[in-house]
């Protein structure tokens, strides 16, 4: 089963609407279609403008969070239907920054993933260990729990469309990326967890990215690994040049 690699920029809390427009105007005519899927995950305020700017260009837009309810007394939250209404296709769920600073749990990740699928949004579910967990040899145990709990109750059809991002917390924004071999080992393990939870067909179709200090000069090493289907990129997705270099690396793969 050939999986289309997916390169996603996670802008986190960066870029005003105008900055977002300037960015995509600089990159959009260089985006390849077909062999690579390009996604930009932007702050809520910039999403509608990005959808408009990228109309007829080969890139999808993602949000960085979503609530599981469709409406209600949830001050400050955004529902799946609201994102779909403006043309958003993906949503990052369970990023380690949300788990750490905003009390995201495996349970809320699961609720959000189910709600996203129910409304036609595709989740990019983030998992990954922190330094202490890694140093005490708990990486696989932790990642297994996060994956199994995230996919609970999803149908096989939904699970096939899932994107999982393996992002070791100690590698995020630190410049200390995981070695490609270590990332491959954990990502192959995640794929085997998906097989246990569903079946081998689902496991061969689910796309699993690496994230954590990915840059144009190290992305190739990850892409050469058999189970790594692209990258979720923070810092290096913020400048048009480095973003395009990352996309180009995936296209050439
Ligand atoms: O958190 C990340 C993507 O979601 C990774 O961030 P950096 O690429 O800046 O390390």
Supply the ipTM of this predicted assembly.
Answer: 0.99
In the chain, the N- to C-terminal Cα span, in Å, equals 16
pLDDT in tens, 72-107: 999 999 999 999 999 999 999 999 999 999 999 999
Q: Is any ligand 1 atom within 6 A of the Cβ of residue 212? A: yes
DSSP secondary structure code for residue 132 in this structure:
H
Active-site residue among 53, 67, 95, 97?
A: 95
| Predicted pLDDT at 2 | 84
Which has the higher per-residue pLDDT, 88 or 1? 88
| Predicted pLDDT at 34 | 83
Q: Is any ligand 1 atom within 6 A of the Cβ of residue 209? A: no
Q: Say how many Å lie between the CA of residue 64 and the centre of ligand 1.
A: 12
Contact 89, 123 (CB under 8 A): no
Helix H or strand E segment including 197: helix 180-197
Q: Which atom of ligand 1 is nearest to the CA of 232?
A: 3
Task: Tell me how far apart the alpha carbons of residues 74 and 144 are, in angstroms, rounded to a whole number.
Answer: 31
Q: With bands split at pLDDT 50, 70 and 90, how would you rate the model's confidence at 1?
A: low
Contact 63, 47 (CB under 8 A): yes
Q: For residue 167, indicate whether it is catalytic.
A: yes
3-state class of 231 per DSSP? strand
- Helix and strand totals (H; E) in the chain: 12, 8
DSSP secondary structure code for residue 68 in this structure:
S
Task: Tell me how far apart the alpha carbons of residues 80 and 91 are, in angstroms, rounded to a whole number.
Answer: 9
Q: Is any ligand 1 atom within 6 A of the Cβ of residue 122? A: no
> DSSP readout, 154-186?
--HHHHHH-EEEE--GGGTTTS-PPPHHHHHHH
The separation between CA 222 and the C-alpha centre of its own chain, rounded to angstroms, equals 15
Task: Tell me how far apart the alpha carbons of residues 248 and 253 are, in angstroms, rounded to a whole number.
Answer: 9
pTM value is: 0.97
6-252 CATH choice from 3.40.47.10, 3.20.20.70, 1.20.120.530, 3.20.20.60:
3.20.20.70
Task: Tell me how far apart the alpha carbons of residues 164 and 248 are, in angstroms, rounded to a whole number.
Answer: 21
pLDDT at 33 over 90: no
Q: Is any ligand 1 atom within 6 A of the Cβ of residue 9? A: no
Sign of the four-CA dihedral 83, 12, 43, 79: positive
Inter-helix orientation angle 240-252/17-27, to 10°: 40
Q: Which residues contact 245 (CB under 8 A, 6 or more apart)?
A: 216
What is the average pLDDT value for the chain, to the nearest integer? 97
**Residues 213-221: contacts with CB under 8 Å, at least 24 apart:** 213/171, 213/172, 213/173, 213/174, 213/175, 213/176, 213/177, 214/177, 214/246, 215/177, 215/242, 216/242, 216/245, 216/246, 216/249, 218/177, 218/180, 219/246, 219/249, 219/250, 220/249, 220/253, 221/180
Q: Say how many Å lie between the CA of residue 227 and the centre of ligand 1.
A: 19
């Amino acid at each position: 089963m050939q999986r289309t690699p997916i390169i996603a920029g996670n802008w986190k809390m960066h870029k005003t609407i105008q900055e977002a427009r300037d960015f995509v105007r600089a990159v959009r005519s260089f985006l390849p279609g077909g062999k690579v899927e390009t996604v930009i995950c932007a702050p809520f305020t910039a999403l509608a403008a990005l959808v408009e700017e990228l109309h007829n260009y080969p890139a999808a837009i993602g949000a960085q969070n979503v609530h599981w309810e469709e409406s209600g007394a949830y001050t400050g939250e955004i529902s799946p239907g609201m994102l779909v209404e403006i043309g958003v296709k993906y949503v990052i769920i369970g990023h380690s920054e949300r788990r750490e600073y905003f009390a995201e749990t495996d349970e809320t990740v699961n609720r959000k993933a189910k709600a996203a699928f129910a409304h036609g949004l595709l989740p990019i579910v983030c998992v990954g260990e922190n330094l202490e967990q890694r140093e005490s040899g708990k990486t696989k145990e932790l990642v297994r729990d996060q994956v199994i709990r995230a996919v609970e109750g999803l149908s096989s059809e939904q699970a096939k469309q899932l994107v999982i991002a393996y992002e070791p917390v100690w590698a995020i924004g630190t410049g200390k990326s995981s070695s490609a071999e270590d990332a491959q080992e954990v990502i192959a393990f995640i794929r085997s967890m998906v097989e246990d939870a569903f079946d081998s067909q689902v496991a061969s179709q689910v796309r699993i990215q690496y994230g954590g200090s990915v840059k144009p000069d190290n992305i190739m090493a990850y892409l050469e690994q058999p189970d790594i289907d692209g990258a979720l990129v923070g810092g290096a997705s913020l400048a048009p040049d480095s973003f395009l270099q990352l996309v180009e690396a995936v296209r050439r793969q």
